[in-house]
Amino acid sequence: MEGMTGRDSLIINQLTGRAAAALAAAEDLLAQARHAVSERTSRDGRPDSGLLETNQFAAHGLAWMATYVEGLRQMLGWGQRLQAAEQFGELEQLILQAAFGEYLKQLTGGIAISQVEIVRPADLGISEQAVAAFHTPQTALLMNAGNTDAVRMRIAALIEDGHFGQLGLGDEMPDMVRDQFHRFADEQVTPHAHGWHLKDQLIPMEVVDQMCEMGVFGLTVPEQDGGLGMGKLAMCVVTEELSRGYIGVGSLGTRSEIAAELIRLGGTDAQKEKYLPKIAAGEILPPAVFT
């Protein structure tokens, strides 16, 4: 197929350039949607709550479309950083083109925002001319060849050993954190996780204690409150590595992070002083409660 490399004709050549062109087309489509929905939901140049209520499906759909386009923008930035660092390997290229192939299709074919709700361009007031303009040679190539069954099968084969591609964050610290928790998950979690599941056991406290020592429960808690103050990026890296070993272990840290953030942002000084250090140290393990 034209535009493909010689490696089994799976990787699209000039991938980041084609993705950039496709992103521009997606941004144009989003601009059309934003204008059309704004016309429906504004009165005298300002958002109107009544009109938003009447047109909530379109407004909700616009939010989804904007999220998809932002996702593509961030994916492209990731690919470009890896390319500049000469780390843009086969797996990373296939991930990038698969993401573009899928999201570009959904932008015009329909975004499933629930099991029974699919947002299509007409629902947002996007004209047929705008949809036609979206279908450029670059978007067509990515939509037709970016996310084929063969591409997905190759990605599955490449991640079989537990390596999911380069992070491309432009910072050594997250990579070091990832390596540390990758080893921890391989050594302390993965060998035992299936047994815990089959026996319906709680995660052993010796594993939780090791997580406390590694600072898992206070990653985003400020240092003055007993945490590491590393931010959400570190939390995401740690959570993904622990979840790779066992989702139950990965979820333990996120509960503490959510509770600590709520207390840090909305709690009284007394509540912060009482709870944040204990949450960060793992002395208090907040549960997840749903209504």
Cα–Cα distance measured from residue 213 to residue 216, given in angstroms and rounded to the nearest whole number: 8
Q: Is 132 helix (H, G, I), strand (E, B) or coil?
A: helix
Is the separation of the CB atoms in 100 and 146 below 8 Å?
yes
Q: How far is CA 165 from CA 6, 148, 211, in A?
A: 21, 19, 25
Tokens representing 160?
């079989």
Residue 148's contacts (CB-CB under 8 Å, 6 or more residues apart) are 10, 101
255-287 burial, b for 16+ CB within 10 Å, e for fewer? bbbebbeebbeebeeeebeebbbebbbbebebe
Cα–Cα distance measured from residue 284 to residue 111, given in angstroms and rounded to the nearest whole number: 40
**So what's the pLDDT on residue 7?**
52
State the distance between the two ends of the chain, measured CA to CA, in whole angstroms. Answer: 52
Cα–Cα distance measured from residue 138 to residue 25, given in angstroms and rounded to the nearest whole number: 9
Q: What is the pLDDT along the chain (291 residues), one digit of tens a residue?
A: 566 654 557 999 999 999 999 999 999 999 999 999 999 999 998 999 999 999 999 999 999 999 999 999 999 999 999 999 999 999 999 999 999 999 999 999 999 999 999 999 999 999 999 999 999 999 999 999 999 999 999 999 999 987 888 888 877 888 889 899 999 999 999 999 999 999 999 999 999 999 999 999 999 999 999 999 998 889 999 999 999 999 999 999 999 999 999 999 999 999 999 999 999 999 999 988 777
Domain boundaries, the chain: 15-158, 172-281
- 3-state SS track over 249-261: HHHHHHHHHHHHH
The fold of 172-281 is Butyryl-Coa Dehydrogenase, subunit A; domain 1 (1.10.540)
Is the separation of the CB atoms in 19 and 5 below 8 Å?
no
78-97 burial, b for 16+ CB within 10 Å, e for fewer? bbbbbbeeeebebbbbbbbb
Cα–Cα distance measured from residue 272 to residue 287, given in angstroms and rounded to the nearest whole number: 18
**So what's the pLDDT on residue 4?**
63
Tell me if the domain spanning 15-158 has CATH number 1.20.140.
yes
Is the separation of the CB atoms in 60 and 168 below 8 Å?
no
Q: How many residues does the chain have?
A: 291
User: Letter for the amino acid at 73?
Assistant: R
